[in-house]
Amino acid sequence: MLQMKKLVTPKTGEAVFVLLLTLSLLSIFIIGLGVAPHIPLLLALFVLIGYGLLKGVKYRDLEAGMVEGTSSSLGAVYLFFMIGILTSSWMVGGTIPTLMMTSFELVTPQFFFMTIFIVTGIVGISIGSSLTTVATIGVAFFSMAAALDLSLPMAAGAIVSGAFFGDKMSPLSDTTTIASKTVGVDLFEHIKNMGWTTIPAFLISAVLFAILTPSVGELNLAQLEEYKQNILATGLVHGYSWIPIIVLFICTFLRVPAVLTLFISSATALILSRFHSSYTVGEYVDILFGGFETNTGHEAIDALLSKADGLMGMMFTISLVLLALSMGGLLFKLGIIQAILEPFAHRLKTKASVIVGAACTAIGVNLAIGEQYLSILLTGQSFAPHFEKNGLAMKNLSRVMEDAGTVINPLVPWGVCGIFISTTLGIPVISYIPFAFFCLLSPILTIIFGLTGKTLTKA
C-alpha cells in the first residue's frame, strides 16, 4: 500500500469533503447506533466506490485498489489464527489460569490502587483483552473499592490503566497484532520496542497509585478467595503451566518468527495438558477451533476462563481488518489521503514532526470515530511513507499507533471502549479520565521521545 499509485488527483477541499463524509457515516453507525463496524465499513466502501466511478475510474481498478490494500494484511491473518489457537491451548494447558492465580495472590490492603493496577495488568497480558479484564476482575475490584468507601473514579482509573497496559503488551491482543502487521513489523519486535514508552508509563502510574492509596486497614478478601477457590477447582493450576510462557520468551529471544513462536508455545501447552486432562484428539481439535469453555458455576470466573477465541473466534477481527484495509486502499487509490497530507508534507520532513503528526492523527481518529482499530489502521497507512522518507524504522510508527491509538479509546466517552467501561462499571468516563494515568502518560511519552529523538530506531 505504501507504493500504491493514485488514479485521481482531487483538490484538497474535495478530498477533505469525501473523507469527512466517510468518517461521518462511520460515526453515525458506530457511535450513534452503537453497531459493530463491519456493515458501516461496507457502506463506506460503496461511498468511495461511487466517488471513484463519478471521477471516471473503472470498477476493476477500484477493486484492484481494495485488493492491494488488503494484501498487506495477509501475514496478519495467519498470525491471528495462531493467536486464537494459542489462547485456547494456554487455557487447556493451565497457563492462563496459573497466571491469574498468581496475580490474585498479589492483592493486599497496602497500596490497594497500585495492586489493582498491577493485577489487572497481569490478567490483561494473560488473556489479551482489556474489556474482558474490566468486565470480570475489574468489576470485582470496583466492588471492593465501593465497600471500603474509597474513591470510585480512582479505582476505575487503576482498572482501566492496568487492563489497557496488559492489552497493549500482550501477544494475544488483536490491537497489538494489528499495529505490528499494518506496517510490517514482527509482533515480538513491536512489543519489545513498546517497552521504551510503556515501562516508564507503567512505573510512573504504579508510583502515583501507591502514593494516592489511603490507609484502608483490613481488606475483605472474601471475594478474591472465592475467585481463587473456583480457579483451583478447575484443576488447571500447576507449576509446569509456566513452561509455555518460558518457551515463548526463549523463542522470542532467539528471534524465531512470530507464527512459529506461537505454534511452538501452543504445542508445548497441549503436551503439558496431558498431565491433568484426558481430552480426545477430536476434543482438542474442537477446542483449538472453537475455543475453550469451562463451567465452574461462578459467572466471573467462567467469563475469564471460557474463551470464545480459538481459530474461529478470530474471524471478527480478521474480517474487520480486511474491510478497514480495503477502505484504506481505496482512500490511497483515489488520492484522498495524499491530497489531505500534501499541504502538510513540507512540515513532515523531520523525525519529530512525523512522530507528533502520527500521534495526533491516532488521537484524532479516536475522537472522530470512537473506534480504536480504525485509529491504528488509518494512522499506519497514512504515515508509513513519511516515516520511511525520514529514515525511521516502521516499529517506531507501530509504537506510536499503540501509544496514541489503543490506549486513548477508553478515554473517549463516545468511544467503543469508553461506552463499554462506563456501562460495565457504572461510572462516567469523564470521572475516571484524570486517574487513568497509564492511558494519559503513553501518548505524552511517545511525543516527548519523538521530539527529543530518544529511543527512535533508524531504518
CA distances for 288 relative to 92, 196, 258, 305, 321, angstroms: 10, 34, 18, 14, 22
Q: DSSP 3-state assignment of 351?
A: helix
**Choice among 17-21, 78-82, 267-271 with the minimum mean pLDDT:** 78-82
The model's pLDDT over 214-253, given as tens digits with 9 standing for 90+, comes to 765 555 566 677 778 888 888 888 999 999 989 988 887 8
Cα–Cα distance, 377 to 161 (Å, whole number): 23
Asked if 119 and 158 touch (Cβ cutoff 8 Å), the reply is no
Return the domain boundaries, the chain. Answer: 75-313
Cα–Cα distance, 43 to 63 (Å, whole number): 15
pLDDT for residue 327: 84
Any residues with CB less than 8 A from the CB of 382 and at least 6 apart, and which? 337, 341, 358, 361
Task: Return the H-helix or E-strand segment holding 319.
Answer: helix 315-333
| Long-range CB contact pairs, 344-350, < 8 A, 24+ | 345/386, 348/386, 348/389, 348/390, 349/389, 349/390, 350/390
Q: Name the residue among 68, 52, 72 with its Cα closest to residue 9.
A: 52
Any residues with CB less than 8 A from the CB of 174 and at least 6 apart, and which? 80, 83, 128, 314, 317
Task: State the Cα torsion 113-119-121-126 to the nearest 10°.
Answer: -170
Asked if 306 and 300 touch (Cβ cutoff 8 Å), the reply is no
Cα–Cα distance, 386 to 402 (Å, whole number): 18
Whether pLDDT at 132 is above 90:
no
Q: What is the mean pLDDT of residues 28-47?
A: 85
